[in-house]
Amino acid sequence: MANLKGKVAIVTGAARGIGAEIAKKLASCGADVAVCDLKAEWCEETVKAIEGLGVRALGIGVNVAVTAEVDACVKEVIEKLGRVDIMVNNAGITKDGLLMRMSDEDWDAVLNVNLKGTFLFTRAVARPMMKNKPEPGGAIINIASVVGIMGNAGQANYTASKGGVIALTKTTAKELGSRNIRCNAVAPGFIQSKMTDVLPEEVKKSYMDMIPLKRFGTAEDIAKAVAWLAGDDAAYVTGQIISVNGGMLG
């Protein structure tokens, strides 16, 4: 297990689902965690669980798509927790529909949260990470998706946003590597969650047929990969897209 003692992490979309699991996993590795989601009160359950692990937790309401809120969030984390070492850009939404009928609003909403939100937090934490003492540095982990690599009918906005996250991950790694800031992405396959619970049974079955390991992933599967990327065991890993998808795409 990664040793993240003394490190401070920010996790977006951490009130529930994969983000909550990531926040708890980083805390169980010793990190203090800022639990961020649209409303601070939604974060209470995750915050309580983390405090129960004996580290500090902070619940913050922030819309990742709004620059002023993102900048204020990072400022608050530094004021209250002292530094930022780990940034997990996990907040994400879907607004599915066929391309020919997709509205501008649905396109913009998904791109703004999934891609712009990842950019805004990356930009906001870059300078504080460069100023970290005694060594500059940090780890940024973006949550992409298998469909950002392979495309998916009915998800033009979502797949484009996640493909964008993958390219942004590689660029961030190139720009910030000399400051000891690593940036990687985890690309989950189909994970049991509120996002996939709503899929019709026949769609779930057709996905299962594509998965060699014959099960949907769990939030814990993703959290473990994130914790590895956050820690020193991944010290020489940057600009990579780690697929955690049961083998559905090589």
Q: Which amino acid is at 222?
A: I
Rule CB under 6 A: say whether 91 interacts with ligand NAI: yes
Grouping H, G, I as helix, E, B as strand and the rest as coil, residue 66 is: coil
Rule CB under 6 A: say whether 59 interacts with ligand NAI: no
Closest distance of CB 51 from ligand NAI, Å: 19
- x/- binding map, residues 187-216, to ligand NAI, per CB under 6 A? -x-xx-xxxx--------------------
Q: Which amino acid is at 84?
A: V
- x/- binding map, residues 109-138, to ligand NAI, per CB under 6 A? ----x-------------------------
Q: Would you say 109 and 91 are in contact if contact means Cβ atoms under 8 Å apart?
A: no
Grouping H, G, I as helix, E, B as strand and the rest as coil, residue 45 is: helix
Residue with Cβ nearer ligand NAI (28 or 90): 90
Closest distance of CB 198 from ligand NAI, Å: 10
Rule CB under 6 A: say whether 218 interacts with ligand NAI: no
- The one catalytic residue among 107, 119, 121, 158: 158
Residue with tokens 């469909």: 147
Rule CB under 6 A: say whether 37 interacts with ligand NAI: yes
236 is an active site residue: no
Burial of 33 (0-12, 13-18, 19+ CB in 10 A): buried
Query: What b/e string do you get for 172-211 counting C-beta neighbours within 10 Å, with b at 16 or more?
Result: bbeebeebbbbbbbbbbbbbebeeeeeeeeeeeeebeeeb
Q: Please, what sign has the CA dihedral across residues 24, 30, 36, 41?
A: positive
Closest distance of CB 83 from ligand NAI, Å: 22
Give the footprint of ligand NAI on this chain (CB under 6 A).
12-13, 15-19, 37-38, 62-65, 90-93, 113, 143, 145, 188, 190-191, 193-196
Please list the active-site residues.
Answer: 158
